[in-house]
Amino acid sequence: MKTTRKLAALVAALVVASVPLRATASDAAPGSATVFTRAYDTASKNVTLTFDADWWSPGNPDEVLRILRDNGITAAFSLTGRYVEKYPDQTRTLLAAGHKLINHSYDHPYFSGLSQSERWSELDQAEAAFNRLGFTSGGWFRAPYRDGYQDASVNRDLAARGYYVNFDWTFDTTGYEGASLDTILARVRQYTVPGATIVMHLSNDSTDTAALPSIISTLRGMGYGFTDPYHAVTQGLIGAKYAALGAQRSALGPPRSGEMAATAAGTSAVQWFDAGRIYWRNNLGAFEVHGAIGGKYFGLGSVTSFLGYPKTDETTTPDGKGRFNHFEGGSIYWSPNSGADLVYGAIRDKWSELGWERGFLGYPISDEVGVTGGRASQFQGGNVYWSAATAAHEVHGAILSRYLQLGGTSSSLGLPVGDEHDIDGGRASDFQHGTITWNATTGVVTVTNR
């Protein structure tokens, strides 16, 4: 016997409480942008290549991209909004190749001398120019002239506008000054350290493009390899998880923040990405949460909620029709027909006993809610009710339809005290103060109070 969504939804009118309230404080948006002058990994001999562009000239993006492609290097390009507006074709060429875009302001002012509203206007105008071409910086910024990059007020204002990564640099080749190849390579040899971020410039006057093949070969001769900006801002087990998932090409997308403490205890961490987060706890490991399940989890308070930390990545359900994450305190399931819903405790245990989503109950279609005398969750094929006195039991089909018509848990029947079971000629469910039976031959449903 199958209940309909319409009948199952009738119970929604009876709820008197919802899931536990969101907690506060931890896993909140950063209050200040994280400044990266080098990669997190300063032990391995890897460097990150980056290019700045203002707007006075376009440079030679095609040649830069050819050299990077031939050497298997993913770089970052910090572009001003005016460059993007003036050279849209060059911008599309650069970013379509998979390199990281960084917001370099709209027209390259000194940031330390601007007010908060002026800083935000610079960010917003540049981002609007990126968006018109279908791109976004994803909350990454680089200070023009390297001015104020360590200024606390600048980094607070960046974070308040959603820019959590201040992607600075370790040294400049000075190609923008027209430096000779010998000068550029001397700086490479002098200033390169493990994890270094090297800045070059994309302009007609810069000698960096012509020097780029020699820069790359010199670095390799020094024993250095190349990482990319996406990996440069991840580390440890969170970084390893991100890499294993496919890094920026995964469902998470590019990093949105640096790594942060997830709680004040100091034994956990979290990193935000464009489409989700990765959490690590020392006794659990690192797991990702994203999409609709992530939206539900973050809305509840993530690690500060009763769910605690994730214990799995988002995973395809055994029936192949949905997705789930398990957490310390319960689970969130999603399917195209049901959305993302929370199930936990004794109700989750009963659902598990009945076969999870492959059982007759199917997927949850509500979070667990308070009802008269106890708790309840709605599923595609029925409801599960719980109280401390009665334990968890399911009600479904024609019996559930009649039960809801009578008022469900607020009716004279009270809560179910057993699952639906066979009787001579049909099926029955027992309640605290009565029984509902269903006749398999006639389809008649009978209510008996006691």
**What's the pLDDT at 390?**
98
**pTM of the entire predicted model:** 0.91
Each residue's pLDDT tens digit, 220-266: 999 999 999 999 999 999 999 999 999 999 999 999 999 999 986 66
Q: pLDDT below 70 — which residues of the chain?
A: 1-25, 264-266
Measured CA to CA, the distance from residue 69 to residue 61 in angstroms comes to: 12
Give the 3-state secondary structure percentages of the chain, helix then strand then coil, rounded to 5. 35, 25, 40
- Domains located in the chain, CATH noted: 1-19+368-450 (no CATH), 21-27+236-340 (no CATH), 34-227 (3.20.20.370)
Each residue's pLDDT tens digit, 280-337: 999 999 999 999 999 999 999 999 999 999 999 999 999 999 999 999 999 999 999 9
**What's the pLDDT at 445?**
98
Measured CA to CA, the distance from residue 192 to residue 19 in angstroms comes to: 53
Contacts of 82 (CB under 8 A, 6+ apart): 54, 55, 106, 107, 108, 129
Measured CA to CA, the distance from residue 344 to residue 289 in angstroms comes to: 17
Measured CA to CA, the distance from residue 40 to residue 32 in angstroms comes to: 17
**What's the pLDDT at 423?**
97
**What's the pLDDT at 265?**
65
Measured CA to CA, the distance from residue 72 to residue 293 in angstroms comes to: 35
CA dihedral 443, 444, 449, 450 (to 10 degrees): -70
Please state, in angstroms and as integers, the Cα–Cα distance from residue 24 to each residue in 156, 271, 293, following that order: 20, 18, 20
Do residues 100 and 230 lie in contact, with contact meaning Cβ atoms separated by under 8 Å? yes
**What's the pLDDT at 429?**
98
**What's the pLDDT at 10?**
34
**What's the pLDDT at 264?**
67
Measured CA to CA, the distance from residue 233 to residue 37 in angstroms comes to: 10
- Beta partners for 334? 323, 340
Q: How far apart are the first and last CA of the chain?
A: 25
SS3 2: coil
392 phi/psi in degrees, rounded to 5: -100, 130
